[in-house]
Structure 1
């Protein structure tokens, strides 16, 4: 079974909890623009990108990129800290909200990762993405670069708005 992971920013845990409902539904204009891009440039359209929900919330849609282990490994690569140090940090995968039937929940993303992403130069992001193993069965790959760059864009936006990062997971 695969999980859908949507990364987004919100001003508080309470506001992030609204993502269990329709907070992250994409704006119709954004959907139309994406459909047009798929017609003209399918490869470009398939790249991860920050999009806008109808609520105005910036959203990065991903598939199966775990906000605790995978992003903890990314944080370790970006900051030079060990994974053990990173995983001991606060707000790393803290449950913010969950649905009654247990098929969706919202977790916090570490503030330290948000800061590292927002404060990194593009060349550092590319190097970190190339060294990052987001799937324990895989080898480091340059294919992770578009996701890391998009996540850094989301982190930069969140920082400028005084917001934190979160992940909604639907199983």
Structure 2
């Protein structure tokens, strides 16, 4: 079961440096949301499509979408960037928007495969939105520490 720790960091170099800390970003004193199975490539592109109203393919083509920042031959784990578009959508979404998006996101194949319903998905979105809301005012970006 893949571990996906979503975290914020000041820049890509700081984000990749979490690979040097045993245990990932939580051990490095960073702001972290720990999740399982919610990969930073497909599930986050699906979330971005739901939250922004774009298509999945468009979400995948945005700058930083699913970009592996660490050296692939050094992993796993890997550090993967999230898009600024998704970070802003999460940070600025109202509670009602998050609930609506959680319901739609929970109906995607990826989340249904893991049995994540609307209520659990809403909790996940609240946690990710909180991470984004704390990160953006501090000039930080969102990342995922992905241990396959």
Cα 1:86–1:100 change in 2 (3 A) is closer
- What pairs up with 1:85-100 in 2 under 5 angstroms? 85-98=58-71
State yes or no: 1:170 paired with 2:147: yes
Structure 1, unaligned runs of 5 or more: 27-52
1:124 alignment counterpart: 97
Counterpart Cα distance in 2 of 1:59 and 1:24:
12
CA contact (8 A) 1:24 1:59 kept: no
CA contact (8 A) 1:20 1:98 kept: no
Provide the alpha-carbon RMSD of the alignment: 2.1
Tell me the matched-pair count.
144
Structure 2, unaligned runs of 5 or more: none
Higher alpha-carbon deviation: 72-81 or 130-139: 130-139
Q: Looking at secondary structure, tell me which structure has more helix per residue.
A: 2
TM-score by length of 1: 0.76
Which of the two has higher C-alpha Rg? 1
1:110 alignment counterpart: 83
TM-score by length of 2: 0.87
